[in-house]
Structure 1
Amino acid sequence: MDERVALITGVSRRVGIAAAIARRFAAAGYRLQLTGLPGYDDAQPYGGDPDGILGLLAELEQVTGDPDVVRYRAADLTSPTAPAELVETAVRTHGRLDVLVAVHAHSTHTPLGKLDAAEIDRHLVVNVRATLLLAEAFAAAFEADSGGRLVLFSSGQRLGPMPTELAYAASKAGVENLTRQLSPLLMPSGITVNCVNPGPTDTGYASTADLATVGQLFPGGEWGRPDDAARLVEWLCSPDGRWITGQVIDSEGGFDRYA
């Protein structure tokens, strides 16, 4: 069979979940189209990764031995044309597209009483609209009879309140619902659709105090690691994952919000 091709969104920082997925896919022999918006992370309190993209591409080239196997294109998913353009780029560059992993997210902390309409809209545009448009473009471009994989990402908002992240929680509820809606539509075309909730994952954004406090809510006393989510995604996208679709999978290491 020809090499499988995957499009992964949300790639910017080397400590992120999307980067961990890219590492696993590269090691498994995938050809990759990566995308992200590094400027988004640069503007966050935790800061960006100055060598993130170049460093990750260099790292992946060491794995693949070929600079053409992994390509990167920055994209702002607030643009209504960006999702289709990314899928088109992947197909044009690698000749096909078998897997789409949508890790991208827009997230800000805004409690009730300080909500802003434009910021709510941005959450819905990036997290819901862009994801749905990516799925539509992927379904149109997928040409195999089977083996297609669409993996979305959630944050477990249905499992407990997120009082300072209301817009984010609402948008991720939409992503989980898309999983249910898209699965019966795409399975006849050979594409499974699943959603991963990785739970609190140490991607470098949390303070030392938060790591310690939230860590106590895990039976093992530590946060998830990016590769924990990446292992699950790799399995879902493998032939062994062919019979799993329409599922929101909580892979949280026993995280207990109410402990």
Structure 2
Amino acid sequence: MPRFPHPTPEDLRRDPLPLRGRTALVTGASRRAGIGHAVARRLAAYGASVYLHHHVPHDAAMPWGADRPEEVVASVREALGDPDARVLAGPGDLSDPAAPAELITTAAEALGGRLDILIANHAVSGSDGTLDEIDATMLDTHWAVDTRAVVLLVQAHARLRPAGPGGRVVMMTSGQDIAGGMSGEIAYALQKGALASITRSLSTTLAGQGITVNTVNPGPVDTDYLTGEAYEAVAAAFPAGRWGMPDDPARLIAWLATDEAGWITGEVINSEGGFQR
């Protein structure tokens, strides 16, 4: 018997529903044009039951606006691969220090008492600027939502989920450490950089519970926030001549949630389509 046996032919055949029976929470999923929605659809297509977190007032105040939660839920339900899986949704203002733990509990209870997968996709838009423009309020706003809330979500997830294989955490960063940086979004870049920096520490902490922790940089993704010449200039910076679409990072994130990615943890992974900064 070899010490490290090869997978059997059956093991090598791809399961069309690799997340059947698993449950997932996706935060920041209030727009069908967003990455959160695309990730939720992929998880649902793979067989998972999904709870969608939204904070409609945030997106409603932005130029792109917000969708109705029931529209987002209906779109994700259309993708369900397992007829027994469920798609549910609920609100949460993650600037409230108590909200992350409450959201984890609510999502787990709604999905049958267990939560396997946490996709921390939410972030604050706006309230930012250059080094000369930022102030304490901007920094505190981004810290509370973009970083503090994510770490508290991970903490609550780890406390609630029984130890065992299949636990997943995926956080989102934003390429702030790559050439060029983000000099016009200092508060956002700072807090997203903190998530990239803590990835390895969290993965080491949670390895014994069977939870992997990875962070994805999706690169520039067309979520309907830019148009005109600026949009075309960004598109030209990709070798393929187009922006990333929400499903581009969603495919990677959903794969990280499967057993195929069980040996990948503590990594910050760029999914930028060769973007030239």
TM range, normalised to the smaller chain? over 0.9
For the 8 Å contact 1:61–1:67, the answer to whether it is kept is no
User: 2 CA distance for matches of 1:74 and 1:68?
Assistant: 21
Distance 1:251 1:195, change over 3 A: same
The alpha carbon displacement at 1:58 in A equals 1.7
User: 1 CA distance for matches of 2:104 and 2:198?
Assistant: 19
Most deviating of 243-252 and 88-97: 88-97
State whether structure 2 residue 74 is matched by structure 1 residue 54. no
For the 8 Å contact 1:105–1:126, the answer to whether it is kept is yes
The alpha carbon displacement at 1:212 in A equals 0.3
The alpha carbon displacement at 1:68 in A equals 7.8
Secondary structure of the 2:165 match is coil
State whether structure 2 residue 90 is matched by structure 1 residue 73. yes
Where in structure 2 are the equivalents of 1:18-97 lying within 5 Å? 18-45=36-63, 47-51=64-68, 53-64=69-80, 69-94=86-111, 95-97=113-115
Alignment partner, residue 118 of structure 2: 100
The alpha carbon displacement at 1:208 in A equals 2.3
Q: Which of these residues, 191, 197, 204, is aligned with residue 171 of structure 1?
A: 191
Q: Which of these residues, 114, 135, 138, is aligned with residue 116 of structure 1?
A: 135
Alignment partner, residue 203 of structure 1: 223
Q: Which of these residues, 158, 183, 188, is aligned with residue 203 of structure 2?
A: 183
Q: Deviations over 1:132-178 (max 9, x none)?
A: 10000000111141110000001000003211100111001111112
State whether structure 2 residue 269 is matched by structure 1 residue 254. no
Alignment partner, residue 153 of structure 2: 134
The alpha carbon displacement at 1:181 in A equals 1.4
For the 8 Å contact 1:91–1:97, the answer to whether it is kept is yes
Number of matched pairs:
255
Structure 1: any 5+ residue segments left out of the alignment? none
**Residue identity matched to 2:101:** A
Structure with larger Rg: 2
Secondary structure of the 1:158 match is coil
Most deviating of 97-106 and 109-118: 109-118
State whether structure 2 residue 224 is matched by structure 1 residue 224. no
User: 2 CA distance for matches of 1:228 and 1:181?
Assistant: 27
User: 2 CA distance for matches of 1:208 and 1:54?
Assistant: 31
The alpha carbon displacement at 1:60 in A equals 2.7
Structure 2: any 5+ residue segments left out of the alignment? 1-18
For the 8 Å contact 2:170–2:215, the answer to whether it is kept is yes
User: 1 CA distance for matches of 2:45 and 2:204?
Assistant: 31
Most deviating of 126-135 and 142-151: 142-151
User: 1 CA distance for matches of 2:40 and 2:109?
Assistant: 19
Secondary structure of the 1:157 match is coil
Secondary structure of the 1:39 match is helix
